[in-house]
Every structure is written in C-alpha cells, then in structure tokens.
Amino acid sequence: MSSTEQELIVYLQDHDANCPTCGYHLNHLTSARCPECGSELILGVGVGMPILGPWALIAACFCWTGGLGCILIAVIWQFGMVRLGTDLVAQRFFQGAVFYFIATIPLSIITLIIRRRFIAIAAARQWRSALAVLFLTLLNLGVFGWVIVFKR
C-alpha cells in the first residue's frame, strides 16, 4: 500500500466523508477504494470559493457596452454615422464612445473565454483592472448620454 493511500485511510479514521461517486459513508476503510461502488479514492487539496467579483464586474461592463455596440452597428449600418449638432468636439467624443462600445463586443467574448486565467491573477490586480473597466464604461456612457441629451 502506498503512503498516500495510507494517509487517506488514516484521515478517514477521524473525519467524516462520503464517496463522491455514490455517496456511501466512508468510515474505517482498509483500502483506497469505495466498498460500495468500487471507485478509486484519493486524498486531495481543494480551493475555497474563488474571487469572481472583479471578473464578473468586467464581464458585466463589457457585455453591457458590447450589447450597445451591436445596436449601434445596426443603426450605423442603416443610417450611417449619426451627426449630432454642430459642436465638433462633442462629435469627436461621441465617435470615441461609439468606437469604445463596438470594441467591447470582441472584448466581452474574450473576457468570457479567459475567465480561468483571469481569476488566477492576484486579487489586487484583478480589482484594479475591474475598476479601470468600470471607469471607462461610466466615462463612455456619460459622454454618449451627454452628447445625445445636450448636443443634438
């Protein structure tokens, strides 16, 4: 019997656990196999709840602005780039915001794909990235709304 098998048996002598496969109560085992279903058992290390907040915040921001980007692509496709008023500076800001919304379409997909890799980086860096994305989201939504409401 291997030492890891031995450790499992010793561990189960004073800890309660059930077989992950069939739920059988594993107490006083003599080998690293479930006596009920025959599954091989191992003693392992698990992770508590991973931090998902920063990733979820980024995903929510990008999905929201990406959705807006999709609508804007349809509008621009139909009517061309919308001209609002005569304020050239406001128009540049507006185009910047529209570009940002469209750019977040692929970014939202990338964010969904790289979840595992993202939650593996240090929590402080995750939060800094999330706050930067939140800032960009609010800034661009603010500019977009400001031009639509006040500069038409």
Which residues of this protein are in contact with Zn ion, per CB under 5 A? 19, 21-22, 24, 34, 36-37, 39
Q: Which two tokens stand for residue 109?
A: 């997909």
Q: Which two tokens stand for residue 75?
A: 């509008």
- Between residues 19 and 63, which has the closer beta carbon with respect to Zn ion? 19
- Between residues 22 and 109, which has the closer beta carbon with respect to Zn ion? 22
CB of 42 to Zn ion, least distance (A): 13
CB of 31 to Zn ion, least distance (A): 13
| Residue in 124, 131, 133 with CA at minimum distance from that of residue 103 | 133
- Between residues 20 and 145, which has the closer beta carbon with respect to Zn ion? 20
- CA–CA separation, 9 vs 126, rounded Å? 40
CB of 34 to Zn ion, least distance (A): 3
The region that residue 17 occupies, defined by phi over 0 for left and psi between -120 and 50 for alpha, beta otherwise, is: beta
